[in-house]
Amino acid sequence: MTTSLEPHVVEHTIGTTGEFSLRLPAGEVELRGTDTEAVRVRDLDGQPIDDLFQVDREPNRLAVRVRDGIHLGGLFRGGPRRSNIRLAIELPRGASVTVDAASAEINGGGLRGEQHYRSASGSIQLNAIAGTVTVESVSGDVALGPDGETRVAVRSVSGDITIHGGRLPSMILTTTSGDIEVDAVIDGSGPYGIQTVSGDATVSAHTGIRVEAKTLTGDVSSSAPHRSDSRGRGQHDIVVGDGRVLLTFKSISGDLRIADRPPVSGAAALASPAAPEPPAPPEPLEAPAVAAVLAEPDADETERLAILRDLENGAIDVAEAGERLAALEDTSDPRGHIR
pLDDT for the residue numbered 228: 81
Within 13 Å, how many C-alpha atoms sit on residue 101's CB side?
26
DSSP string, 100-148: EEEEEEEEEES--SEEEEEEEES-EEEEEEEEEEEEEESSS-EEEEEEE
Say how far apart CA 61 and CA 133 lie, in whole Å. 19
CB atoms under 10 Å from CB of 6, counted, come to 11
β-pairing verdict for 38-43 and 85-92: antiparallel
Could you count the other beta carbons within 10 Å of the beta carbon of residue 190?
A: 17
Task: Give the pLDDT of residue 296.
Answer: 44
Question: Mean pLDDT for each consecutive 10-residue tract of the chain (339 residues)?
Answer: 74 97 94 97 93 94 85 40 79 97 94 95 95 94 96 94 97 94 95 93 92 88 80 77 92 89 38 37 37 46 66 63 66 39
pTM: 0.76
Eight-class DSSP state of 226: -
